[in-house]
Amino acid sequence: MFCRMGKHCRAIAVVRVGKPSQFRQNGHFRRGIPLANTGPTTKDSRGTPPVSLNGILSTALSALQTNTTALGVVSQNISNLNTTGYADRTVNEQTQVLGGNISGVDIADIERVTNQFLTQETLNANASSQQYSTESGIFSQLNGLLGQPGASTSLTSQLDAVSTALNSASLSPNSATSQQAVLSAFQNLASTVSGLSSSISGLQSQVDQQVTSTVGSVNTLLQQIYSLNQQIQTAQAQGNDSSGLLDQRDQAVQNLSQYIGVQTTTQADGQMLVSTSDGVSLVGGSTYGQLSYSGGSNGSYPPIALQTIDPATGQNVGPTQALDPHLGSGQLEGLVSMRDGALANFQQELGNFAQQTALAFNAQSNANSAYPPPTALTGTDTGLLSSDGLNFTGQTTIAVADQSGNLVSQINVDFDTGTLSVDGGPSVSIGSTVGSFTSALNAALGSNGTASFSNGALSISANGTNGVVVQDDASDPSSRGGTGFSQFFGLNNIFQSSAPSVAATGLSAGDAGGFADGGAMQFVLKGPNGQIGKQASVTVTAGMTIGDIVGALNTAFGGAASFSLSSTGALTMTPSAANSGYQLNVVSDSTERGSTGMSFTQLFGLGTQQLTAQAQGFTVSSALTANPSSLPLGQPSITSSTAIGDPIVASGDSSGLDALDNVSNAQQTFQAAGTLSAQSTSLTNYVGAFYQDIATQTQTATTNSTTEGDRLTEAQSLQSQTSGVNLDDELSKMVVYQQAYSAGARLLQVAQALDQTLQQDLT
């Protein structure tokens, strides 16, 4: 017979019909049933085996079934043209062979079109894009809180406002209006510092909440991927189509890469192993990881814990490990790096500025005096005990003056000789402790005033309407750990904060610890990427000296970090070479020195939180706020020839005010903090560096976000070209499958016609 169906007809089957007698079986003709099994087949001279009607029907039906399925796949592809995560399906056909003869066409498999390289590149690009997008978004919020460097609310503007107020007040330093203007300028500066610190702290808390939420999302995805692994393994083992499950798993992994940098490996049984970029297992063949995070506060944040779970038993597999160092990229990495990195660094830089601002202005204000002199000078909590060694050198004068600034009485203290004298009288011992000095000073004041030391704070008061003036010797000024007498005790401070600005305590290793028995400190030595170098704890017992506690710290850290007490009483921590760049975080500290309320880490400014605390609660002294006229804008003048009744503080004196005006531009020594190195510069320049650091990191994050976003777009585009549905290709396939289906239908018609002809010939 002649086939008019073209190449599709030939591709489906080659048909050769034998004589009618060949279709007789057992003397009967068979209708509508295969007749191919009547006996062995032989080839004709052309080598083509004869084909029965059964073979023709089988070939036609296989063509119809195969192309129906293929058209269904095309239809599925087109309907999922815009479905996220859907991979294009391709039908792979094969010939059917029965008894060594071609008997039609069949589907070998329906293949998902994927490219492992492009898939992994998309995962990597997605994780990086999410990381930098997260960082850029947080920087945007931070800059909104900080404002522009030149804005009226910026630190730069507030420093300038202090200078402007001081300049204006120099014309009339004793005017209530001038004093209030200066006080307001100081308050605005302090409020800006503490406000920025609170804003950054609030942003850290917000980011920490996002970490907690994201951990929950990651856990859901890890369980989902594990569950899909089991379903895919079962489906493939049973020979069932698992393409839909594979799509779901790919999408789940893609979603996971938003949060963590991941890499994947597909096993022969269809399961996919998922791990972090550096190889920490997240989903195994029979296990999956579960994250836990309880949240942190006050700059101390625990690591994200990863525990492998065996779902079959519900038991933990292996030890818990910190995931932070293995995040690599993704939203979680962006959140953690901003919370523990950039935001924490800015807090430390701001705290560094606050500490040096307090030290610089307080050093000058304690060298100044108000007119008229204040009736009392009340110091801040130093954390010292009455039994502590006095440990001062040099000389200072504590004087009582009347409301006109005239000398009533003066007490000259010589710490080098351990004596004091009243109004040029005989020398009297001050003893060797803070308590003995206070008692000697109180006795020396006599009827003119009182001195007391309680809860770590020294107070000196004058009786009646008289005031108190403190002046260091010009050639041999007093010093404890490098800080003068008045400033060390904070007698005439302008600024104060929630942490002592003076870090050099003047304590020595032999001084009694003075800490209550049982107080405990917990520490974490943390790396720049969240690595845990060491976790340590120290419990204080009664009778331990300062040196004993320092020794206990060194023992607890086992060489991961070393602690040393300097000759000025400053405690420093130095990480080992293996932990270079690591910082000390104080997780908790329940120690308390005597009745001061001061913990060990607060006393020595130990840990990153203590530098941050310099900016928290940064404010103007409550004594100045309550009485602006006590602002120390003049300078006392007491010499060896000054006699009772001589003026020691003059009305209209602006020399102290001028000295305060010079503080902002004077060179200060800043320790390393955040990303800013140790440097000697002015307060004004340091503020500029602070803003520049934020601007630089913001620009870097923005650039990275744009770059990685473009990388993700390109990766997705390439993946779409390879794995996505192309409408033109699908329409082309549809035409081919429709024509092949039609050819199969025509072949079925031919078989029916042959059958009818045979029946007619045989009747």
Q: Given a cut of 60, is residue 499 above it in pLDDT?
A: yes
pLDDT tens-place string over residues 204-261:
999 999 999 999 999 999 999 999 999 999 998 998 888 889 889 999 999 999 999 9
Distance CA 363, CA 488 (A): 9
Counting every residue written for the chain, the total comes to 763
The answer to whether residue 469 sits within a structural domain is no
CB 533, CB 551: distance < 8 Å: no
The answer to whether residue 439 sits within a structural domain is no
pLDDT for the residue numbered 469: 98
| Confidence tier at 56 by pLDDT (50, 70, 90) | confident
Residues 51 and 127 in one domain: no
Which of 671, 687, 712 terminates a domain? The answer is: 712
Spell out the long-range contacts of 242-247 with Cβ–Cβ below 8 A and sequence spacing 24 or more.
Answer: 242/270, 243/87, 243/89, 243/110, 243/112, 246/87, 246/112, 247/85, 247/86, 247/87, 247/112
Distance CA 513, CA 592 (A): 10
Q: What value does the mean pLDDT take over residues 392-420?
A: 97
The answer to whether residue 472 sits within a structural domain is no
Q: What value does the mean pLDDT take over residues 724-752?
A: 79
The answer to whether residue 477 sits within a structural domain is no
Distance CA 612, CA 583 (A): 13
Residues 28 and 138 in one domain: no
Question: Which pair of structure tokens corresponds to residue 66?
Answer: 């195969």
More confident: 59 or 385: 385
pLDDT tens-place string over residues 575-592:
999 999 999 999 999 999
Distance CA 520, CA 552 (A): 12
More confident: 319 or 734: 319
The answer to whether residue 152 sits within a structural domain is no
Residues 35 and 85 in one domain: yes
Q: Given a cut of 50, is residue 310 above it in pLDDT?
A: yes
Distance CA 490, CA 485 (A): 8
| Confidence tier at 1 by pLDDT (50, 70, 90) | very low
Which range is most confident: 38-42, 61-65, 184-188? 184-188
Distance CA 592, CA 587 (A): 16
3-state DSSP assignment of residue 195:
helix
Residues 25 and 136 in one domain: no
> In which domain, by residue range, is 566 found?
520-604
Residues 273 and 224 in one domain: yes
What domain count does the chain have? 3
The amino acid that residue 528 corresponds to is P
| Confidence tier at 30 by pLDDT (50, 70, 90) | very low
Q: What is the pTM of this model?
A: 0.83
Q: Return mean pLDDT, the chain.
A: 88
Residues 93 and 124 in one domain: no
DSSP H helical segments within 475-595, as ranges?
A: 485-489, 546-557
pLDDT for the residue numbered 5: 36
Residue 711 DSSP label: H
What phi and psi values does residue 333 have, to the nearest 5 degrees?
-65, -40
Distance CA 593, CA 502 (A): 17
pLDDT for the residue numbered 723: 66
Task: List CB contacts of 329: < 8 A, sequence separation 6 or more.
Answer: 124, 127, 128, 130, 131, 260, 261, 277
Q: What value does the mean pLDDT take over residues 480-493?
A: 97
| Confidence tier at 414 by pLDDT (50, 70, 90) | very high
Place of tokens 């980011």: 207
Picking from 335, 219, 326, the residue whose alpha carbon sits closest to that of residue 262 is: 326
Per residue, the 3-state secondary structure of 71-106, as one string, reads: HHHHHHHHHCCCCCCCCCEEEEEEEEEECCEEEEEE
Place of tokens 């997780």: 587
CB 109, CB 243: distance < 8 Å: no
What phi and psi values does residue 760 have, to the nearest 5 degrees?
-65, -40
What phi and psi values does residue 638 have, to the nearest 5 degrees?
-120, 120
Distance CA 396, CA 470 (A): 7
The answer to whether residue 132 sits within a structural domain is yes
Spell out the long-range contacts of 693-702 with Cβ–Cβ below 8 A and sequence spacing 24 or more.
Answer: 693/345, 693/346, 693/349, 694/139, 694/142, 694/143, 694/146, 694/346, 697/139, 697/342, 698/136, 698/139, 698/140, 698/142, 698/143, 701/132, 701/135, 701/136, 701/139, 702/136, 702/139
pLDDT for the residue numbered 34: 38
Which of 576, 604, 632 terminates a domain? The answer is: 604
Residues 311 and 285 in one domain: yes
Q: Given a cut of 70, is residue 681 above it in pLDDT?
A: yes
Picking from 156, 194, 164, 157, the residue whose alpha carbon sits closest to that of residue 182 is: 164
The answer to whether residue 447 sits within a structural domain is no
Residues 22 and 121 in one domain: no
Residues 227 and 101 in one domain: no
Distance CA 140, CA 129 (A): 16
The answer to whether residue 87 sits within a structural domain is yes
Picking from 390, 566, 414, 568, the residue whose alpha carbon sits closest to that of residue 477 is: 414
Distance CA 688, CA 154 (A): 10
Picking from 612, 165, 603, the residue whose alpha carbon sits closest to that of residue 349 is: 612
pLDDT for the residue numbered 36: 36
Q: Is 639 exposed, middle or buried (0-12, 13-18, 19+ CB in 10 A)?
A: exposed
Q: What value does the mean pLDDT take over residues 647-662?
A: 95
Residues 331 and 223 in one domain: yes
Which of 585, 604, 623 terminates a domain? The answer is: 604
pLDDT tens-place string over residues 130-160:
999 999 999 999 998 887 766 778 899 999 9
| Confidence tier at 39 by pLDDT (50, 70, 90) | very low
**Burial track 19-41 (b if 16+ CB lie within 10 A, e otherwise):** eeeebeeeeeebeeeebbeeeeb
Residues 39 and 133 in one domain: no
pLDDT for the residue numbered 18: 32
| Confidence tier at 24 by pLDDT (50, 70, 90) | very low
Distance CA 746, CA 481 (A): 105
More confident: 163 or 728: 163
Q: By mean pLDDT, which of 9-13, 104-108, 283-287 is the weakest?
A: 9-13
pLDDT for the residue numbered 62: 80
Strands 520-526 and 495-496: unpaired
Distance CA 694, CA 679 (A): 18
Q: Given a cut of 80, is residue 298 above it in pLDDT?
A: no
CB 569, CB 506: distance < 8 Å: yes
| Confidence tier at 647 by pLDDT (50, 70, 90) | very high
Residues 287 and 138 in one domain: yes
